[in-house]
């Protein structure tokens, strides 16, 4: 093999660089996103009524699409009520419906969004729940 | 199949084409079903106020400074409109204008200064033929089915074509983050972000809940509203028995806000 030493040296550097994301993580604690849904508003409800507009599974996967559909229905068509799969009706509003129960934006929204490093621009305009702002200011 | 002749071949081809068309119509039926399912999922509030085309009549005789201030204050408060004093950056949805500026085409050398300087409450005219909608490149501003010229802030890219298109100056651009200029936020209504254009929305959020526009409520009868396509509506009765003017009507934008002198 011509220049074998150089090639092997190069390969070692290459492998070290490629595996860097893994080797750097060795020994570090793995912090899993842990969103909380135990706000006072939710805990106040009787156990049987502690349900979101759709199932937990659906919300986890589809909430972003759902919010976009809600936005189009409200802003474009003037339709403000959502009838869920159980036939229950909800007012479609991020500020006035979602965040009324999920009043813990930092522990509910941000927990996962930070984990997967997405920055939705909801809060550029929509108002965060008040108690949350107080907490952040107190920190 | 080796003894197939030209005639039989054409027959098979014809039947095949026919079946194909049938199959296509099947797709259409399924598609429609899906659209209906969408319509059922989203509903209007049962008491929502509806019209073919909303319009407003403002009686200038009944307006005084107090009413003008009240209307402006309530509108800007409930819609979280920032209070920026610099006139180059200010945001306004409804505001006080002198008659000579609101109706420049009616200005006359011999007009009394009383009329020239009369206070007029001006806002977005929710034109039937809105130039702002025509020029918007992202369809962020659009006309709803009930005639309201609306803004979808999510889509606005801040190009300000609509501001150039609007002959009434009814649109304002957010040069700064409005958060810093609002004292008491209305928690039920969103804010805007830096770099979008905003304007009066005919209180669509109130109409959709069955409430009249906020300025109508605060005007003590000086502002009336209703469906202009309905001959029995309050505003149609007023318009049929009074002389009313519209701002810059000759431009052909067909404004929906009428003024009684």
HEC letters along chain A: CCCHHHHHHHHHHHHHHHCHHHHHHCCCCCCCCCCCCCCHHHHHCCHHHCCCCCCHHHHHHHHHHHHHHHHHHHHHHCCCEEECCCCCEEECCHHHHHHHHCCCHHHHHHHHHHHCCCCCCHHHHCCCCHHHHHHHHHC
Question: Predicted confidence band at A72 (pLDDT cuts at 50, 70, 90)?
Answer: very high
Range of the domain at A71: 30-138
| Residue tagged 């909608």 (tokens) | B133
Lowest-confidence region among A104-118, B21-35, B98-112: B21-35
Tracing tokens 């004292």 back to the chain, one arrives at: B183
The whole-angstrom distance between B143's CA and the closest CA on chain A is 9
Predicted TM-score (pTM) of this structure: 0.80
Question: Number of residue pairs across A and B with CB atoms under 8 Å?
Answer: 62
Specify the number of domains making up chain A.
1
Q: Where are the domains of chain B?
A: 1-43, 54-260
In a domain, A22, yes or no: no
CB B123 within 8 A of CB B200: yes
A23: in domain: no
Q: Is residue A50 part of a domain?
A: yes
Q: Measure A89 CA to nearest chain B CA, in Å.
A: 9
Is residue A48 included in any domain, yes or no?
yes
User: How confident is residue A139, by pLDDT bands cut at 50, 70 and 90?
Assistant: very low
CB contact under 8 A, B142 and A76: yes
State whether residue B98 is helix, strand or coil.
Answer: strand
pLDDT tens digit sequence for A80-119: 999 998 889 999 999 999 999 999 998 999 999 998 889 9
Query: pLDDT tens-digit profile of B40-89?
Result: 789 999 989 999 999 999 999 999 999 999 999 999 999 999 999 999 99
Predicted confidence (pLDDT) at residue B22 exceeds the cutoff of 90? no
Asked if the structure places residue A16 within a domain, the reply is no
- A15, part of any domain: no
Complex ipTM over 0.85: no
The CATH code of domain B54-260 reads 3.30.70.20
Q: How far is A87 from chain B (nearest CA, A)?
A: 9
Residues of A in contact with B195 (CB under 8 A): none
């Amino acid at each position: 093999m011509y220049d074998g030493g150089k090639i092997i040296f190069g390969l070692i550097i290459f492998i070290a660089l490629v595996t860097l994301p893994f080797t750097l993580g060795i020994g570090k604690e793995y912090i899993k996103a842990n969103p909380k849904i135990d706000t006072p508003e939710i805990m106040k409800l009787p156990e049987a009524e502690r349900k979101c507009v759709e199932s937990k599974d659906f919300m986890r996967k589809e909430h972003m699409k759902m919010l976009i559909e809600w936005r189009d229905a409200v802003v474009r068509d003037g339709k403000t009520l959502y009838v869920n799969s159980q036939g229950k009706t909800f007012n479609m509003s991020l500020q006035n419906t979602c965040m009324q129960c999920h009043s813990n934006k930092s522990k509910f929204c941000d927990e996962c969004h930070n984990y997967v490093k997405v920055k939705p621009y909801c809060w550029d305009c929509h108002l965060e729940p008040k108690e949350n702002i107080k907490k952040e200011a107190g920190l | 199949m080796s003894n197939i002749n030209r005639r039989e071949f054409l027959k098979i081809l014809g039947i095949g084409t026919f079946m194909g068309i049938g199959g296509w119509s099947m797709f259409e039926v399924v598609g429609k079903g899906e659209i209906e399912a969408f319509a059922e999922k989203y509903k209007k509030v049962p008491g929502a106020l509806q019209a073919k085309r909303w319009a407003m009549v403002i009686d200038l005789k009944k307006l005084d400074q107090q009413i003008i201030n009240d209307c402006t204050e309530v509108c800007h408060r409930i819609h979280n409109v920032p209070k920026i004093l610099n006139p180059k950056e200010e945001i306004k949805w409804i505001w006080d204008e002198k008659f000579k500026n609101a109706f420049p085409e009616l200005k006359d050398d011999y007009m009394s200064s009383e009329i020239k300087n009369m206070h007029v409450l001006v806002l977005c005219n929710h034109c039937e033929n809105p130039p702002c909608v025509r020029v918007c490149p992202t369809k962020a501003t659009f006309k709803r089915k009930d005639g309201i010229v609306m803004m979808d802030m999510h889509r606005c890219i801040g190009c300000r074509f609509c501001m150039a298109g609007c002959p009434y100056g009814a649109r304002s651009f957010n040069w700064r983050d409005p958060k810093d200029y609002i004292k008491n936020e209305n928690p039920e209504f969103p804010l805007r972000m830096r770099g979008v254009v905003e304007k009066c929305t005919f209180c669509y959020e109130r109409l959709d809940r069955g409430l009249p526009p906020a300025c109508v409520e605060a005007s003590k009868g000086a502002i009336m509203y209703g469906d202009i396509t309905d001959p029995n509506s309050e505003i149609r009765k007023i318009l049929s028995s009074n002389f009313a003017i519209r701002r810059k009507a000759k431009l052909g934008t067909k404004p929906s806000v009428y003024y009684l002198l």
